Amino acid sequence: MKILVTPRSFGKTDPKAFDMLAEAGFTVVRNDTGGIMTAEQISEALADCDGVILGVDPLNKDVLDAAPNLKAVAKYGVGTDNIDLDECKRRGIKVTITVGANANAVADYALALMLAVARKVIPVDAQCRKGDWSKTSSVDVYGKTLGLIGLGAIGKGVAKRAKGFDMRVLAYDVYWDGAYAASAGIQRADLETIYRECDFISLHVPLTDATRSMIGERELAMMKPECVLVNTARGGIVDEDALLSAL
């Protein structure tokens, strides 16, 4: 059986992942494009493959049409917005995701971005490199209010880290985990409350028809002028034209 592997980071630091596939009897086809594959490139590579370990490369109906032997898709991550799930279901193609695999890394990164923006780490670094030692004002993170839109594995990880900064944490999730929220001291809130009250807002929802451009002109206008918005989910969740206008 032949497997296509599209993520460039797969097996990059440890070839054991590829060894395991070879030992299981799979012939592995690697992404040699140097970047994210286009629909045309992945269609050609998938033509005679039985499975794919997929990154953020497109797996739409046209690509699936070019892969008659495809039986399984293993997403190298958790987001499935680049996969035509309905078409996969119709064709009987199994789709899996790596639940929790990157939750801690993304939660770390979300908090790092909050700190970097609040403390103006990058602009101050640039000033120092130019020999400019003038003082730059910034805002505190400690004791502020954090709003989490999405309280899955990553959102929960951010909440845990925020507690170390004694932050008040508000959260919204369609599938509310009341037991966890109560044990972690997280307050349930609707979206408008989060937009209006929070000093920091972190996005942790999948990109779907319901969440696409959910942060638009109206939502940005509700936020405090100094609010820090962090998006480690998908770019399409924020209306970039509205964001540019607000900035």
Q: Are 191 and 139 in contact (CB under 8 A)?
A: no
H helix count then E strand count, the chain: 11, 10
Q: Which residues contact 241 (CB under 8 A, 6 or more apart)?
A: none
Q: What is the pLDDT of residue 25?
A: 94
Domain spanning 2-96 has what CATH number?
3.40.50.720
- The CATH number fitting domain 103-246, selected from 1.10.1740.10, 3.40.350.10, 3.40.50.720, 3.40.640.10: 3.40.50.720
- According to CATH, where is 3.40.50.720 located in the chain? 2-96, 103-246
For residue 12, the one-letter residue type is K
Beta-bridged to residue 215, according to DSSP, are 238
Q: What share of the chain is helix, strand, coil (3-state, %, to 5)?
A: 40, 15, 45
Band (pLDDT 50/70/90 cuts) for residue 133 is very high
Tens of pLDDT, residue by residue over 14-27, are 889 999 999 999 99
Angle made by CA atoms 26, 29, 32, in degrees to the nearest 5 = 160
Spatial CA neighbour of 204 closest among 167, 152, 146: 152
Nearest to 191, CA basis, from 216, 167, 165, 163:
216
pTM of the model: 0.84
Average pLDDT over residues 33-50: 95
pLDDT in tens, 162-198: 999 999 999 999 999 999 999 999 999 999 999 999 9
pLDDT classification of 147: cutoffs 50, 70, 90:
very high
Residue 102's pLDDT band (boundaries 50, 70, 90)? confident
Work out the pLDDT band at 78, boundaries 50, 70, 90. Answer: confident
Render the burial of 96-129: b for 16+ CB within 10 Å, e for the rest. ebeeeebbeebbeebbebbebbbeeeeebeeeee
Calpha distance 230→188 (Å, rounded) = 19
Neighbours of 4 (CB within 10 A): 23
pLDDT average, residue stretch 85-105? 93
State whether residue 52 is helix, strand or coil.
Answer: strand
